[in-house]
Structure 1
Amino acid sequence: MIGDIHGCAKALRSMIQELAPTKEDELIFLGDYVDRGPDSRDVVEQLIDLQSVCKVIPLRGNHEWMLQSVVSRGMDDSMWLRSGGRATVTSYGGSVRKIPEEHMAFFESLLACYQTESEIFVHAMYDPSCEVATQDDELTYWTHLPPSLPAPHHSGKRVFVGHTPQPDGEVLRQSHLVCMDTYCFGGGYLSAMDLETETVLQVDRHGHVRRVPVERFAMLLKGCVHWFRSRDS
């Protein structure tokens, strides 16, 4: 599962190279592929190509919602351009009319949410008492996580979201809720989590893999081993 990309094509390319997915693998993307970062077009190209490599489950973020509303539904573009859409337009050669049909088909294929037996995936937020598939679009695409986090979902499933940037660059992990937006375009990281092991891989916007957490864990483990040996001696 991979968090908000926001046009950070170098980060995505390095991430995919590190993950090296095969046809047996499933990659869930939480939305916001475009806007703000330097190369939204390249991000979309990578995601389309990735569909021939492994199973890709791409959710729609509020930034794809805005792009689709402007291009396909005639919405005024002022809000989108103020919210990072200008970078996307630039990446497509200066005009939304230059967005390829294949890319628009990709945007139209995006999901509002996705569920497994034990997990819910949605871009922004959820109503703990409501089925996520029927909740209001304001929650699905736009509402940020409040300082006082929402209660567990009534289904008992763990919820995975993006959308709310974590300024410290760390994945927000709670027993009932995980936020994967680690602010890649703003100097943080693009984050991926293996849902079986909860291992997190992070890459910055320049494509550099973050290895500090692994080293820090190794140091902590070494310290624990030393403590136990000292206690037993």
Structure 2
Amino acid sequence: MRTFAIGDIHGGLKALIQLLNKMEIKDDDTLIFVGDYVDGWSESAQVIQFLIELSQKINCIFIKGNHDVWCEEWLRNDDVNPIWYMHGGKETMDSYVGFSEDKKKEHLKFFESMPLFYIDDKKRLFVHAGFTSMHGVEKEVFKASLYFDRTLWEMALIMDESIEKDSTIYPNRLKHYSEIYIGHTPTINFKVDEPMHAANVWNIDTGAAFTGKLSGININTKAIFQSDNLPALYPNEKGRNKV
């Protein structure tokens, strides 16, 4: 059986379908999504509907991202976070035109059911952004760190690769897990259009919200799969504004 981790989709249904086709997904595969399914391109509601239906066919794990938190709040009580509205929320709200109230309630339940992290039987952690507790995600006091923190990735980037994991100076945050898979911080910020690896952290957000691609990685073989650049798939749209 194969397990894939998939980066931030941000309303790019065309990219998601293209990526799954390139992966040649089978019924016994597992897909672990690291969050941010909405906000960006014009098909956020359609992405959620597609994922709900996909999860009825194969094993899927959906981690919650910060954009998903905002969308969930809007679906629950029409709360329009102004930061969300400016950074993809408007496009997501537009994508729900034509969706019935019952369908919106179904999507709300989908968001509400998402965990903030997942740890598999090989101590591989999947989380949207990162965490700050030296004791690991389960001891994280500030839950919003799980979908907003960037310091974990920043720390991994500046680490000396020669430091062994059993060393006393190896960061305690990283010692808890064999590997950590994150999204949230686009690799195109570092002029890289593929998933990046630093220490034991894999960043698989390759900027699908902006000018980049949607990426997936086989977590056992480390084979990488990617869609086309999102602007090529949505030539008449601009994508999300950068924060």
- TM-score tier, shorter chain, comes to 0.7 to 0.9
Q: Select which of 28, 37, 49 maps to 1:45.
A: 49
Check conservation: 2:37, 2:68, Cα contact below 8 A: yes
Partner residue, 1:202: 226
Q: How does 1:90-169 map to 2 (within 5 A)?
A: 90-93=94-97, 100-116=104-120, 117-127=122-132, 129-135=134-140, 136-145=142-151, 147-149=154-156, 151=171, 153-167=174-188, 168-169=192-193
What is the identity percentage for the equivalent residue pairs of Structure 1 and Structure 2? 29
Shift of 1:105: 1.7
Check conservation: 1:124, 1:139, Cα contact below 8 A: yes
Secondary structure in structure 1 of the residue aligned to 2:180: strand
Return the alpha-carbon distance in structure 1 between the equivalents of residues 96 and 102 of structure 2: 6
Shift of 1:80: 1.6
Shift of 1:94: 8.0
Return the alpha-carbon distance in structure 2 between the equivalents of residues 96 and 86 of structure 1: 18
Q: Which residue identity is paired with 2:179?
A: R
Check conservation: 1:180, 1:191, Cα contact below 8 A: yes
Q: Which residue identity is paired with 2:132?
A: D
Note the residue ranges of structure 2 that are not aligned, 5 or more in a row. Answer: 158-170, 235-243
Specify whether residues 97 and 144 from structure 1 end up closer, same or farther in structure 2 by C-alpha distance, changes over 3 A only. farther
Shift of 1:156: 3.9
When the two chains are superposed, the root-mean-square deviation of aligned CA atoms in Å is 2.4
Note the residue ranges of structure 1 that are not aligned, 5 or more in a row. Answer: 209-233
Specify whether residues 4 and 174 from structure 1 end up closer, same or farther in structure 2 by C-alpha distance, changes over 3 A only. same
Secondary structure in structure 1 of the residue aligned to 2:181: strand
> Would you say 1:186 and 2:192 are equivalent positions?
no
> Could you tell which deviates more after superposition, 138-147 or 198-207?
138-147
Q: Deviations over 1:155-193 (max 9, x none)?
A: 142111000011121211124101110001311110000
Specify whether residues 20 and 101 from structure 1 end up closer, same or farther in structure 2 by C-alpha distance, changes over 3 A only. farther
Number of corresponding residues: 208
Return the alpha-carbon distance in structure 2 between the equivalents of residues 82 and 47 of structure 1: 25
Secondary structure in structure 1 of the residue aligned to 2:49: helix
Shift of 1:58: 0.5
> Would you say 1:62 and 2:66 are equivalent positions?
yes
Shift of 1:19: 2.0
Q: Select which of 78, 84, 104 maps to 2:82.
A: 78
Shift of 1:60: 0.3
Q: Which residue identity is paired with 2:16?
A: L
Secondary structure in structure 1 of the residue aligned to 2:156: coil
Return the alpha-carbon distance in structure 2 between the equivalents of residues 66 and 25 of structure 1: 30
Return the alpha-carbon distance in structure 1 between the equivalents of residues 77 and 138 of structure 2: 22
Secondary structure in structure 2 of the residue aligned to 1:67: helix
**Superposition TM-score, scaled by structure 1 size:** 0.81
Q: Which residue identity is paired with 1:153?
A: L
Q: Kindly name which structure, 1 or 2, has the bigger radius of gyration based on alpha carbons.
A: 1
Q: Which residue identity is paired with 1:137?
A: K
Secondary structure in structure 2 of the residue aligned to 1:153: helix
